[in-house]
Amino acid sequence: MAFLYILHLDTKLAHTQHYCGSTKNLKARLEAHAAGRGARYTEVLKEQNIDWKLAGLYQCNHATMRRLERVLKDTCRIKRFCEVCSETPSTLPGTQRYELSLLKFATDSATIRAGGSGVPEVTFRIASASEARKLTEWMIKLMKVERDALGFIPGGSGKGVEDLVKLGRILLAEVNGQPGGYIAHFASKDHARITIHQCCVEDQYRFLGIGRQMVHEIRRLHPTKEIVAKVRYNLAANHFWQRIGFQVAASLPHETSGNIIHHYYLAPQTELR
């Protein structure tokens, strides 16, 4: 079971007073937000000492979770479902309201921080050839779970994935020493461009903002190169690349499927949002 959640800010940030997110691990996600991680928005809240409280919680299945989160953010209708702003919040179609009083842990930023809640340690490195076989099984499993978001598996087989690791093309994110996400990337022949073919994170770790951190690590490793990513037009990943500062340089039909592919671009020396 998954959750859609709404945070109500004690003080407005610019013109907004709400944040909407989704997760399968609510307690860990709230702890990450209280620590200023998991989303650029809540990072800014921590920087500006703006506290928040959980003000709406809805249960749904995994597919509904991501779709409705996107709808709420795109339409700016979050306030209608906030239990602080409305005595009778609107019903969110496809979900079931979860009573906040049933939660057995802190649900506001000040209390969470006062309790010293910890956030897992996340580290990044280029995977080595010696661990290719061990990582391949994990990567293939993760790719299959996320196939609708990724669109394809690099190389099309376990052998292809193993080759990516051996060639130093996998940036690995580890959470408390265990694999939590990866970026498959390639350098152009003239070494002027880095192409990111996949950016994938274990669902249970998405509250840590690992996707953005991995792209940031690619930028740190290759500060003078342009970075590009090609994303099918109808994948949720488009919102991710736009949110962290990539621009659409072109939208072209794929040579075999005909699907429109957005070509995202980040100029050399440009930092992420």
pLDDT digits 0-9 by tens, 150-174: 765 444 456 788 888 999 999 999 9
Half-sphere exposure (CA, 13 Å, Cβ side) for 209? 22
100 pLDDT exceeds 60? Answer: yes
pTM: 0.66
Characterize 221-231 residue by residue with b for buried, 16 or more Cβ atoms within 10 angstroms of its Cβ, and e for exposed.
ebeebbbbbbb
For residues 255 and 203, the answer to whether their CB atoms sit within 8 Å is: no
pLDDT digits 0-9 by tens, 118-157: 667 889 999 999 999 889 999 988 888 877 777 654 444 5
DSSP 127-177: PPGGGHHHHHHHHHHHHHHTHHHH-S-GGGSHHHHHHHHHTT-EEEEEETT
